[in-house]
Amino acid sequence: MKLRYRWCDTERSRRRHRATVKAGVGSAILVLLSVAPLAHADDRVTLGGGSGIVIDEDTICTLTSIGHDNRGTLIGFTSAHCGGPGAKVAAEASPDRGVLGTMVAGNEGLDYAVIEFDPQKVAPVNSVNGFEIDGIGPDPTFGAVACKLGRTTGSSCGVTWGPGEKPGTIVNQVCGQPGDSGAPVTVDNRLVGMIHGAFSEDLPTCVTQYIPLHTPAVTMSINAILADITAKNRPGTGYVPIGA
């Protein structure tokens, strides 16, 4: 098996815009004390598995999943080829909201990156555009129907062909294009992996009007990823997705 493509994309994000509010000193103090907690809660950016994210202002990928590790830290994942430790992460849908998290660990061999999000800025969800993640599932076997949600190509489903030649990979008949790197792959709403790239360049990466066949996708096993994180005691150890 030769991996031909990796599905990330690049694009510059907008600068954060700030509005100035004029108020008297006395009334401003009262407003802050009375409504600041509600405004803060409502002001957070919603993110979940399948959301588009922007790394270091010019690379667009897809968030795999979001939840908490055994330290209670708000953690997310995407592909390592989208960025490495220290890279800043923003929401594609709200780039003006600025940095929401930072990549804190990764493994290029298993192509995963761990993101530590700021819970003051992010509201985690387990469903994006109807694509739900209810927990972690086992690696799918031949014939299991897998589905993915990417920020570029949306949702697509197809059968699982089995493990790939590279350790920690699974081959699924789902499609992807640039920007879908890191997209969650589920079976029965349970997370089983993240999109790594295309299996080959011999067929299109997605179905077209004239060509009904597309190359399978190579998926990185979430179980292999979490095992590596735990073995190295990295951020994300003991990860539980929101909604599990």
Domains of the chain with bracketed CATH: 45-127+228-241 (2.40.10.10), 131-226 (2.40.10.10)
pLDDT of residue 3: 45
pLDDT of 199 strictly over 60:
no
Average pLDDT, the chain: 84
pTM of this structure: 0.81
Residues whose CB is less than 8 angstroms from the CB of residue 128 and which lie 6 or more positions away in sequence, other chains included: 48, 49, 50, 51, 149
Mean pLDDT of 192-219: 70
pLDDT tens digits, one per residue of 20-44:
333 443 444 444 444 444 444 559 9
Q: From the CB of residue 31, how many other CB atoms can be counted at a distance below 10 Å? A: 14
pLDDT tens digits, one per residue of 81-111:
999 999 999 999 999 999 999 999 999 999 9
pLDDT tens digits, one per residue of 105-158:
999 999 999 999 999 999 999 999 999 999 999 999 999 999 999 999 899 999
pLDDT tens digits, one per residue of 164-178:
888 999 999 898 888
Percentage above 90 pLDDT, the chain: 68
